[in-house]
């Protein structure tokens, strides 16, 4: 029983109940199966009772032998017997639950759970499954222990719903109707992790420990180094900790999608009906609730009964831009829950009509809960984290190896050294290789870049997403609200011209509601004449989005007051729109007398009532011919192929007497007498249009080597039409295979596990064969579920991104979206990009970046800024590493007898005092070239810290700096005489300080040359100049800080430096000139090679954007 309960996800309380039930049943079966034992047992108990009575009645036998031996008295025995008798009587007053009762309750709960899931589906699957929409209402309600009212599915009369007595048990079993938030790490433990974990921090803390040990043992008096180093590590940890706290999970805001208001509910108590208002979080499976227009759906519910034309806005969940009609009819087997019209999901909104519903899933089991659970898992490491981690491991190995070499060299030195000296020398060599300013530099640089991106309406929630955004090779975008405006808009009015042909109007500004003959004016007046939309104020509308689209067109063309005048015209009779008729009808007084009948709805329904048609300016009525009818159908089909929602409109004049009793008019009478001989006016084309600037943004992405893929829950035709309009797919020509993928094609292409695996199974081979084609050619995915979206991103990351060497590296995917249905894919993507205005809090929580203006075009600016940030970060790291060779070599030269040229405190003065600020200033460096005209950089192929950067820093710039530093070092008078000696006079100590100061100052100047050199890859500084004022200021401050260390007595004591002469201060600048000249020569050669490659590419002729469209 426990195993079966675990399969269906029944809570632990049922486990215990089932176990108790099994034990009770076993006992009953055992007793019933051994009647002879039972009879003997009863006889024995009777004999024992008789004996007890006889002992009580016979004073001579009242005391047992044992009781007498213990010294008990008759009074003691009487007292014990009275207490036993009282206990027996008390136990009889306590009712006992029989095993059969426990079995019935446990089995009932188990069956209720099983009834809600689609047969053969595991409730623990991450995809959403239910059988509620495919089960007849009576059967469904009964399976949940609920009951329909005496009036049937409406449940407005008689006892209905679940029993009040069962509520406590059901609450214990099902829990609260709330989505469980993800667990959070303690903020202080997180701080400790940031400060003390990671190989880089361990290396730095190890260095601090060695320095402290040397001070403690008296082998060093340098207390500055460990203090500064520890401060840097703590500060870097605090900075990263504070950044993460600012981007703290917004999962609590998920409650904003959960209904918090009380819900009208009906339950049963003692066979009577109890109407009550139940808090949404207290709803239980089986509850019968009542919803009306404007209500937020408080759980996943099956609609039992609803008014005609009921609509629910599912945009936040499914991505549908148009509210979906609801119908209580039972669906066929195999219908997907998201395509069912008899379900309403947790967090959606009723925009039209009323309904009686039964709750079948609550909390984490709801569609919204399934989505929320899929974004609770920890996000994988970003590309920057992986690259920095790889670099840190590499540096750690280099540092340890250098330190060990120094240690071994000290031990093997023919001139023995004290143990303190050996450790200090080895620690200095190791420490010189550690870029202790790297993490603060990267963090602060990314913070600055994120601030620059926020100025372009791109809010960065996760700092390293800045770098990843620059590497993006595929942008997967949701359609509704991201590529499109998210609002239905009247885009076309089609009517007959004078010659009988049909013309399309797209500009409605020239219409006038007072113009009774102008056909466009007549059409727009009929459009706004509806009672389904209420204007609450400027830009505020309530009702069906289709009606709102027509109303907004009228307000845009005429202004609010004129539209209200049209709406205020009294209604004599109305047939509201419903799903059966698919039209609405209004009768209203005509200003010159008589009545005006207006008909509006699906074109195939409207046209069948039309015998005539307006042509030309609307002052001519012509009988509808078969050719005209064909023209109407062709125009409607053309609009539909362009992803328009099409409505037809017709009218006619009537002259009913003033005494006509409109109140007694029935719908059947109206259909027979009012809807005949209508005059066709025209067709409306309504669409959720592409946002302004999206087409240009898509083309910019393609020019930058980035594929744009649309992933939508809408119909394939709608997706294709929008994709063609915004250049995602070619506007002309037949679409090649795999260009458009639908949910039907994906139905059997989903892995059985969490993600794709390479286990050699038949399933794995089938999936690989399909998805390897899809990731190359697909541009539109339609009718997909949230889990499909997540798998699409996984497939792109696994099988996309084929390199020039033919190896598959996986695409770097950015997923944009605004709905809850986008959240799993946003979390899965390398960069999740949410919409800030219309985006749900769940989508924002799952994202790394938020577009504050909801403009897809902003992502192009973000990608460009991301590429610039990556480029500047690479330059910054290259600059930081340039000084490592000249910082390390003096420790080895010291073993050869050369007085130490650069001590640890001087290394810190360079790394922390000057280099770190200059490195941060690279964040403001303007772009060197057209960043969006090159292919995206794949982080696995071209890392930020790659072989070229290391060769440049260590094997080129570092070597030049080292040569210049030693050249300056040996210009110190008398320094050659100190080589090979271990003891020095005060004058010789001063000579060593002069030489060391020259080495230090030359390295500072060499780093200034490196700073200017690394601002460009190929462009000459003579052309590029010095556009980064913050970098220029940092360079000036480097010189000033070095002068402070050289000429200030207190700094002389700390850093072991001394003042230099004017001539000595000029020597290091010769290094600046030499390094700069070498760099200009290198860049000139690089420019010549790059120009040759560009000529070859131009001759081959393969435009990047065209290749992406044709793939």
Q: What percent of the chain has pLDDT over 90?
A: 32
**Pseudo-torsion of CA 1062, 1064, 1068, 1073, nearest 10°?**
60
At residue 942, the pLDDT reads 85
pLDDT at 752 over 80: no
Which pLDDT does position 635 carry in this prediction?
A: 93
Report, as an integer, the average pLDDT of 48-55.
45
**Of 487, 478, 1109, nearest to 856 (Cα)?**
478
- Alpha helices of 8-73 — where are they, by DSSP H? 12-32, 35-57, 65-69
Angle of CA points 241, 245, 249, to nearest 5°: 135
| pLDDT band per the 50, 70, 90 thresholds, residue 8 | very low
Q: What is the average pLDDT value for the chain, to the nearest integer?
A: 81
> Does the annotation count 848 as an active-site position?
no
Percent of the residues in the chain that have a pLDDT greater than 70, as a whole number: 81
- Given a cut of 50, is residue 980 above it in pLDDT? yes
Beta-ladder partners of 685:
492, 646
Q: What is the pLDDT of residue 33?
A: 40
C-alpha to C-alpha distance for 199 and 596, rounded to whole angstroms = 82
Question: Looking at the predicted structure, is the pLDDT value of residue 62 above 60?
Answer: no
973, pLDDT greater than 50: yes
Among 219-233, 290-304, 361-375, 459-473, the range with the most confident prediction by mean pLDDT is 290-304
Q: What pLDDT does 657 receive?
A: 92
Whole-structure pTM value: 0.72
- Once rounded to an integer, what is the mean pLDDT over residues 456-477? 89
State the pLDDT at residue 546: 82
* Residue 90, pLDDT above cutoff 70: no
Average pLDDT on 533-542 reads: 68
pLDDT tens for 555-582 read 888 888 888 888 888 889 988 877 677 8
Give the whole-angstrom CA distance, residue 879 versus residue 949. 9
Task: Give the pLDDT confidence score for residue 207 in this predicted structure.
Answer: 76
- Higher confidence at residue 136 or residue 8? 136
Please tell me the distance from the alpha carbon of residue 203 to that of residue 192, in angstroms, as a whole number. Answer: 16
pLDDT of 1029 above 90: yes
Mean per-residue pLDDT, 441-445 = 78
- Could you tell me how far CA 75 lies from the centroid of its own chain? 79
Distant-in-sequence, close-in-space partners of 944: CB < 8 Å, separation ≥ 6: 384, 387, 388, 391, 467, 870, 873, 874, 877
DSSP codes joined into one string, 673-722? HTSSSEEEEEEEEEE-PBPTTHHHHHHHHHHTT-EEEEE-SS-HHHHHHH
Residue 670 has pLDDT above 70, yes or no: yes
pLDDT greater at residue 6 or residue 322: 322
Model pLDDT, residue 457: 86
Confidence of residue 430 (pLDDT cuts 50, 70, 90): confident
Q: 545-558 vs 560-567: helix axis angle to the nearest 10?
A: 120
pLDDT for residue 726: 93
Strand partners, 589: 595
pLDDT of residue 97: 45
pLDDT band at 5 (very low <50, low <70, confident <90, very high): very low
HSE-CB for 248 with a 13 A CA cutoff: 12
Which one of 287, 295, 300, 478 is the catalytic residue? 478
- Tens digit of pLDDT for each residue in 617-665? 888 899 999 999 999 999 999 998 887 889 999 999 999 998 899 988 9
């Amino acid at each position: 029983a426990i195993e079966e309960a675990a399969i269906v996800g029944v809570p632990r309380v049922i486990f215990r109940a089932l176990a108790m039930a099994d034990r009770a049943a076993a006992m009953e079966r055992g007793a019933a199966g051994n009647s002879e034992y039972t009879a003997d047992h009863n006889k024995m108990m009777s004999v024992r009772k008789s004996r007890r009575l006889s002992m009580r009645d016979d004073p001579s036998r009242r005391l047992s032998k044992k009781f007498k031996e213990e010294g008990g008295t008759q009074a003691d025995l009487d007292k014990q017997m009275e207490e036993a008798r009282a206990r027996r009587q008390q136990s009889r007053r306590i009712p006992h639950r029989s095993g059969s009762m426990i079995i019935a309750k446990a089995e009932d709960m188990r069956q209720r759970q099983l009834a809600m899931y689609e047969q053969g589906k595991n409730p623990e699957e991450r995809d959403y499954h239910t059988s509620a929409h495919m089960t007849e209402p009576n059967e469904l309600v009964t399976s949940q222990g609920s009951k329909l009212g005496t009036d049937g599915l409406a449940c407005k009369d008689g006892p209905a719903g679940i029993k009040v007595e069962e509520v406590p048990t059901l609450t214990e079993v099902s829990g609260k109707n709330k989505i469980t938030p993800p667990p959070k790490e303690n903020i202080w433990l997180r701080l400790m992790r940031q400060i003390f974990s990671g190989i880089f921090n361990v290396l730095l803390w190890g260095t601090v420990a060695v320095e402290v040990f040397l001070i403690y043992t008296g082998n060093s008096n340098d207390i500055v180094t460990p203090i500064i180093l520890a401060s840097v590590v703590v500060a870097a940890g605090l900075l990263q900790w504070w950044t993460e706290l600012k981007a703290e999970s917004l999962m609590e805001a998920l409650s904003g999608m959960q209904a918090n208001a009380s819900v009208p509910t009906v339950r049963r108590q003692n066979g009577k009906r109890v109407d009550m208002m139940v808090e949404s979080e207290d709803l239980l499976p089986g509850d019968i609730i009542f919803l009306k227009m404007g209500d937020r759906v408080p759980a996943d519910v099956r609609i039992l009964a609803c008014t005609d034309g009921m609509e629910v806005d599912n945009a936040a969940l499914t991505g549908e831009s148009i509210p979906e009609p609801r119908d209580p009819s039972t669906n066929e087997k195999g219908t997907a829950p998201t395509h069912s019209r008899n379900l309403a999901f947790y967090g959606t909104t009723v925009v039209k009509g009323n309904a009686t519903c039964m709750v079948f899933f609550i909390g984490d089991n709801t569609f919204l809960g399934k989505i929320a659970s899929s974004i609770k898992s920890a996000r994988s490491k970003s590309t920057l984290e992986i690259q920095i981690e790889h670099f840190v491991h590499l540096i750690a190995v280099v540092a340890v190896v250098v330190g060990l070499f120094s240690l071994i060299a000290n031990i093997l030195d023919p001139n023995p050294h004290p143990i303190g000296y050996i450790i200090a020398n080895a620690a200095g060599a190791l420490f010189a290789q550690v870029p202790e300013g790297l993490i603060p530099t990267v963090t602060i640089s990314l913070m600055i870049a994120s601030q620059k991106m926020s100025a372009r309406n791109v809010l960065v929630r996760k700092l390293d997403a800045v770098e990843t955004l620059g590497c993006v090779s595929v942008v997967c975008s949701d359609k509704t609200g991201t590529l499109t405006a998210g609002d239905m808009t009247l885009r076309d009015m089609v009517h007959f011209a004078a010659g009988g042909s049909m013309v399309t109007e797209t500009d409605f500004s020239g219409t006038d509601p007072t113009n009774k003959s102008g056909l466009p004016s007549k059409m727009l007046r009929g459009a706004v004449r509806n009672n389904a939309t209420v204007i609450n104020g400027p830009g505020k509308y309530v009702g069906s989005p289709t009606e709102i689209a027509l109303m907004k067109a009228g307000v845009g063309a005429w202004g609010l007051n004129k539209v209200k005048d049209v709406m205020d015209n009294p209604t004599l009779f109305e047939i509201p729109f419903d799903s059966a008729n698919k039209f609405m009808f209004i009768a209203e007084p005509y200003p010159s007398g008589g009545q005006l009948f207006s008909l509006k709805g699906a074109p195939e329904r409207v046209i069948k009532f039309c015998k005539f048609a307006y042509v030309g300016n609307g002052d001519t009525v012509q009988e509808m011919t078969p050719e005209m009818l064909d023209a109407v159908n062709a125009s409607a089909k053309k609009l539909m192929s362009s992803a328009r929602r099409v409505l037809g409109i017709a009218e006619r004049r009537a002259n009913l007497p003033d005494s006509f009793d409109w109140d007694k008019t029935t719908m059947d009478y109206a259909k027979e007498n009012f809807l005949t001989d209508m005059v066709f006016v025209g067709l409306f084309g309504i669409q959720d249009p592409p946002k302004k600037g999206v087409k240009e943004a898509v083309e910019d992405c393609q020019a930058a080597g980035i594929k744009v893929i649309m992933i939508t829950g809408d119909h394939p035709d709608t997706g294709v039409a929008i994709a063609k309009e915004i250049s995602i797919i070619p506007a002309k020509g037949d679409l090649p295979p795999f260009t458009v993928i639908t949910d039907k094609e994906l139905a059997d292409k989903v892995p059985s596990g969490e993600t794709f695996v390479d286990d050699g199974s038949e399933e794995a081979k089938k999936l690989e064969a399909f998805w390897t084609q899809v990731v190359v050619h697909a541009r539109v995915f339609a009718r997909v579920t949230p889990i499909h979206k997540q798998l699409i991103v996984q497939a792109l990351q696994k099988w996309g991104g084929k390199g020039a060497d033919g190896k598959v590296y996986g695409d770097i995917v950015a997923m944009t979206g605004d709905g809850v249905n986008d959240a799993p894919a946003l979390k899965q993507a390398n960069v999740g990009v949410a919409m800030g205005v219309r985006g749900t809090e769940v989508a924002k929580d799952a994202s790394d970046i938020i577009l504050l203006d909801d403009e897809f075009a902003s992502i192009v600016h973000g990608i460009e800024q991301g590429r610039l940030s990556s480029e500047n970060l690479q330059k910054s790291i290259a600059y930081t590493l340039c000084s490592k060779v000249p910082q390390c070599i003096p420790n080895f030269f010291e073993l050869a007898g050369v007085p130490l040229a650069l001590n640890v405190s001087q290394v810190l003065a360079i790394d922390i005092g000057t280099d770190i600020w200059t490195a941060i200033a690279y964040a403001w460096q303007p772009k060197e070239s057209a960043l969006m005209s090159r292919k995206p950089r794949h982080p696995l192929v071209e890392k930020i810290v790659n072989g070229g950067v290391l060769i440049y820093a260590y094997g080129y710039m570092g070597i030049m700096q080292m040569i210049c530093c030693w050249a300056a070092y040996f210009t110190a008078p008398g320094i050659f005489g100190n080589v090979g000696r271990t003891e020095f006079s005060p004058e010789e100590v001063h000579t060593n300080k002069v030489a060391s100061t020259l080495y230090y100052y030359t390295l500072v100047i060499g780093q200034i040359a490196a700073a200017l050199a690394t601002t460009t890859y190929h462009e000459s500084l003579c052309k590029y100049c010095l556009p980064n004022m913050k970098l220029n200021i940092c360079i000036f401050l480097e010189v000033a800080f070095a002068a402070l260390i050289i000429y200030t007595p207190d700094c002389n004591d700390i850093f072991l430096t001394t003042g230099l002469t004017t001539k000595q201060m000029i020597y290091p600048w010769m290094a600046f000139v030499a390094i700069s000249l070498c760099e200009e020569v290198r860049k000139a050669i690089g420019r010549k090679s790059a120009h040759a490659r560009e000529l070859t590419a131009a001759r081959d002729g393969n435009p990047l954007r065209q290749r992406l469209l044709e793939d």
